Structure 1
Amino acid sequence: MRAGTHAVDPEPFGPPWRPWDEAEGEARGLFAPLASLSYGPAGMIVVAPGDTRGTVLIPERCDGDCYGVDGRDGSNLACARCGLEVGTRIDDCSLWQAVRLLPDAVRREETPGTFDEPVEGVPPVGPEGAWSLYWEAAIAEALAHLLAVSGGRVIALEDGLVAEVFRPALALLPPGPPHRNLALAGPGLPETDDIALVPRDPVTGRSWPHSGAADVVPVAAEVWTWLAFGHDPVTAPVSGVMPTGVLRDDPLPKRPRDLFRPAPDVFLHTLARLPAVRQPWLRAIYDRVSAAPWAGLAELAV
């Protein structure tokens, strides 16, 4: 979570855990098998760790890997004044840092989201030259929704960054000529009549209202802004006066070291909660990625 933001997780989180049960899973909106089902508290408020005040760790509940804490023992944060449990700190390798507050321990005030204010984009490549983890997670979520509305048919993509981040994983679809098109749509862009890639409001989580598209695929607003209005680096030399709109090549633009790989855990988490995953062709993709999640979606598509 970014500083100053929060989210509400409607699903149970943490212990106790029970083996997968298909009937119970579908009743909770899960349409593909998971390793286990959480029966912990639902509706937890997720914030950035630095946004919490007046809490202390509960030492006997601080187990984890790599000298971190992962919440495996349940709530590990308490109120510094009264000692009551207030939430769980997550801070371990391979996990997103966050604090999950118990819904009955804090008060939440709603803030309406209207897309009135422009959202600053997140660069796709970090200073170290690797793809942004935020992008890997956001595109993985959008990819699950995109596959669900594709009907198993090949999708044509806009050239540029959209194609660069989606095309490798879309090779999971059966081969053939494109039957559908994915296009960016949203504030400042024209509408599309097929599949619209639209921003998700960073405050409410709602998708940009788009009435013209046959299907809508939401993506994090910070990623959508960069996809829609960011600039691809210019790598070819230019002679004469620098034309308007051409980026300078000193310093050299940041380029990723390898192919883009959507986060497989986010992809599986999202896809398991979409009813379309019960279709045989999409369930086969789910099972394929589940069998080798750390291989990365890009390798699975080869």
Structure 2
Amino acid sequence: MRSEGACLDVFACAGCGTEVTAPVSRVALPVHTHHGGWEELHPALMEPATYAVEPRPSGPPWRRWDEVGEEEAARRGIYGPVFSVSFGARNRIVIAPGDSRSLTLIPERCDGYCRGVDGRSGPNLACTGCGRAVATRMDDCGLWQAVWLEPGEVVRRSSGLPAVAPPDWDDLRRADHRVPPVEPDGRWSRRWEAALGVALAHLVVATGDRPVTLPAGPVAELFGPAVERHLPPGPPPCSVGLAGPGVRPPLPRPDVLLVPRHPLTGDPWRPPGDEGPVVPLDSGVWAYLVRPGETSPMPATGVLPAGVLRDDYPPPPDSWYPLPAHARAFDDTLVRLPGVRDPALRRHHEAYGWDVARTP
């Protein structure tokens, strides 16, 4: 947590000192960071004036699984077979593209799939002060728009501007923190799909591949179809409950608790003194599950006053298309949980994981 009197951060080129970001404050890395929708253009990953840090190795260079071996992969946080293992830097910093400053594209490194750049050739943004390659712009289809700063090429400084209060558990109670599962055009939210994939992987490991019973309401309605697909049916099921700041765990305590991640640290919430299994959720998704929000029970009539914009509720998706778990988010999370080494859990990686022999 930031102490009283703390200032916003700014990142500068390690070579010449040119500031390459606007003043920003740190938040938790979004769970959907590496998981978007294929062949779709996405908005910015980060909110304006924020940044996050990816503690895991990420980006190029990549090495094939069969070249790396299980022991080296485990040292890089990968515990199950994947197509390739990142040997990129740890602790890369991600910001919204609009918060970058004094950076210019390196034309020969602007490769991408079809609609933008994807960083396959390494850092593609250079400091305008000295020409040092310090960051990577990513905005191709299927990727959340972002600028990734290389940790060895930038330094963090105080901006001198006072920082706002850091996000805390109390922020989860704000109405604007909730993330609805449906986009305005009626499609399922890509953020929800990724959050479900990540949570499902944790649930598989926490339950040891046992069937579960979900709490009635939004959790069962939204998560139920995906859970039924990935976890086997039959008794005796594990009980799952919803808990978090202001939401006491049911009594007796369920076998597994669905809890939010802290909006600043990313750590899962826990009841005081509790050491039982928990499944961390995207805090905005958790906030919606706890308090879905108001829906007017009465139709509105008449004309809107001048200057008032419409605020319609998004139409729900067709009932035959339940909320899907993002396949890659599920698999990428599962292989990063040490519990996947349990032979009883390997079936998930084999049955639902990406084909290690063919997936680039």
Same fold at TM > 0.5: yes
The aligned amino acid for 1:224 is W
Contact preservation (8 Å) 1:199, 1:221 = yes
TM-score (norm 1): 0.85
Q: Offset of 1:56 from its aligned partner? A: 1.1
Q: Offset of 1:131 from its aligned partner? A: 0.6
Query: How far apart, in 1, do the equivalents of 2:117 and 2:194 lie?
Result: 21
SS of equivalent residue, structure 1 residue 145:
helix
> Are the structure 2 counterparts of residues 75 and 252 from structure 1 closer, same or farther at C-alpha, using a change threshold of 3 Å?
closer
SS of equivalent residue, structure 2 residue 353:
helix
The aligned length equals 281
Pick from 284, 297, 318 the counterpart of residue 247 of structure 1.
297
Corresponding residue for residue 202 of structure 1:
263
Corresponding residue for residue 201 of structure 2:
144
Determine whether 1:85 maps to 2:133. yes
- Unpaired runs of 5+ residues, structure 2, are 1-44, 301-311
Determine whether 1:13 maps to 2:58. yes
Pick from 161, 165, 176 the counterpart of residue 222 of structure 2.
165
> Are the structure 2 counterparts of residues 202 and 114 from structure 1 closer, same or farther at C-alpha, using a change threshold of 3 Å?
closer
Contact preservation (8 Å) 1:161, 1:232 = no
Determine whether 1:276 maps to 2:339. yes
Contact preservation (8 Å) 1:157, 1:167 = yes
> Are the structure 2 counterparts of residues 23 and 108 from structure 1 closer, same or farther at C-alpha, using a change threshold of 3 Å?
farther
The aligned amino acid for 1:12 is P
The aligned amino acid for 2:191 is Y
Pick from 156, 161, 166 the counterpart of residue 107 of structure 1.
156
Corresponding residue for residue 94 of structure 1:
142
Percent identity over the alignment?
A: 46
Corresponding residue for residue 18 of structure 2:
none
Corresponding residue for residue 256 of structure 1:
317
Query: How far apart, in 2, do the equivalents of 1:285 and 1:127 lie?
Result: 33
SS of equivalent residue, structure 2 residue 280:
strand
Determine whether 1:179 maps to 2:237. yes
Cα offsets for 1:266-296 (capped at 9, x unmatched): 1111111101111223211112222479xxx
Query: How far apart, in 2, do the equivalents of 1:28 and 1:292 lie?
Result: 20
Q: Offset of 1:178 from its aligned partner? A: 4.8
- Unpaired runs of 5+ residues, structure 1, are 234-245, 294-302
Query: How far apart, in 1, do the equivalents of 2:298 and 2:46 lie?
Result: 31
**Over 6 Å off, 4+ runs:** 108-111
- Structure showing greater relative contact order (alpha-carbon pairs closer than 8 Å, 6 or more residues apart): 2
User: Cα RMSD over matched residues?
Assistant: 2.3
